[in-house]
Structure 1
Amino acid sequence: MHPHERIPYSPITERPQLSLPGSARVAVWVIVNVEEWSPFEPMPRTVLTPPAGGVPTPDVPNWAWHEYGNRVGFWRILDALDDVGVPAALAINGKAIETYPQITRAALDRSWEFIGHGYTQKNMQKVEDEEADIKATTQAIAAATGRPPRGWLGPGLTETWNTPEILAAQGYDYVCDWVLDDQPLELRTARGPLTSVPYTQECNDVAMMLIQHHRAEEYRQRAIDQFEQVYADAEKHDSARVVALVVHPYIMGAPHRTRYFREALEHINGHPGSVFMTGSDILDWYRTQGA
Structure 2
Amino acid sequence: MLPTHGRYDYHPWPGRRPYAWKDGARLAVYLGVNLEHFAFGEGLGAELAPGGPQPDVMNFAWRDYGNRVGAWRLIGLLDELGFPATVLLNSAMYDYAPALVAAHRARGDEIAGHGRTNSERQSVLPEAEERALVAESTAAIARHEGTPPRGWLSPWIAESRTTPDLLAEAGYAYTLNWCADDAPVWMRTRAGRLLAIPYPQEVNDIPAIVGRKDGAEQFADMIVDDFEERLRQVEDGMPQVMGIALHPYLVGQPYRLRHLRRALAHVAARRGTVWITIAGGVLDHALALPAGTIPGDDA
What TM-score, normalized to structure 2?
0.92
Q: Report what 2:117 is aligned to.
A: 120
Displacement of 1:24 in angstroms is 1.7
1:204 aligns with 2:201: no
Q: Report what 1:257 is aligned to.
A: 256
Amino acid aligned to 1:209: I
Q: Report what 1:239 is aligned to.
A: 238
Percent identical residues: 34
Amino acid aligned to 2:121: N
Q: Report what 1:193 is aligned to.
A: 193
Q: Report what 1:101 is aligned to.
A: 98
Of stretches 127-136 and 61-70 in structure 1, the one that deviates more from structure 2 is 127-136
Question: Equivalent residues in 2 for 1:1-291 (5 A)?
Answer: 4-50=5-51, 55-121=52-118, 122-127=120-125, 129-236=129-236, 238-271=237-270, 272-290=272-290, 291=293
Displacement of 1:95 in angstroms is 1.2
Over residues 161-198 of structure 1, what are the superposed CA-to-partner deviations in whole Å (9 max), with x where a residue is unaligned? 01000000000000000001111001101111100011
Supply the RMSD in Å over aligned alpha carbons: 1.4
CA contact (8 A) 1:184 1:198 kept: yes
Over residues 251-287 of structure 1, what are the superposed CA-to-partner deviations in whole Å (9 max), with x where a residue is unaligned? 1111110112211111111114211111110011112
Amino acid aligned to 2:30: W
Displacement of 1:98 in angstroms is 2.0
CA distance in 2, matches of 1:43, 1:59: 11
CA contact (8 A) 1:30 1:89 kept: yes
CA distance in 1, matches of 2:44, 2:155: 14
CA distance in 2, matches of 1:166, 1:255: 39
CA distance in 1, matches of 2:241, 2:132: 32
CA contact (8 A) 2:122 2:155 kept: yes
CA distance in 1, matches of 2:231, 2:13: 14
CA contact (8 A) 1:42 1:59 kept: no
Amino acid aligned to 1:124: Q
CA contact (8 A) 2:124 2:160 kept: no
CA contact (8 A) 2:62 2:249 kept: yes
CA distance in 1, matches of 2:66, 2:176: 22
Over residues 120-146 of structure 1, what are the superposed CA-to-partner deviations in whole Å (9 max), with x where a residue is unaligned? 112112357111010000001101110
CA distance in 1, matches of 2:50, 2:164: 36
CA distance in 2, matches of 1:49, 1:174: 35
Amino acid aligned to 1:243: M
CA contact (8 A) 2:37 2:117 kept: yes
Q: Report what 2:296 is aligned to.
A: none
CA distance in 2, matches of 1:82, 1:127: 39
CA distance in 1, matches of 2:205, 2:103: 22
CA distance in 2, matches of 1:43, 1:198: 25
CA distance in 1, matches of 2:23, 2:138: 34
CA contact (8 A) 1:93 1:119 kept: yes
Aligned length: 285
Gaps of 5+ in 2: 294-299
Of stretches 125-134 and 146-155 in structure 1, the one that deviates more from structure 2 is 125-134
Displacement of 1:4 in angstroms is 4.6
Displacement of 1:220 in angstroms is 1.3
Secondary structure of 1:61 counterpart? helix
Secondary structure of 1:67 counterpart? helix
Residues 1:86 and 1:226: Cα distance change in structure 2 (over 3 Å): same
CA distance in 1, matches of 2:25, 2:166: 35
Secondary structure of 2:186 counterpart? strand
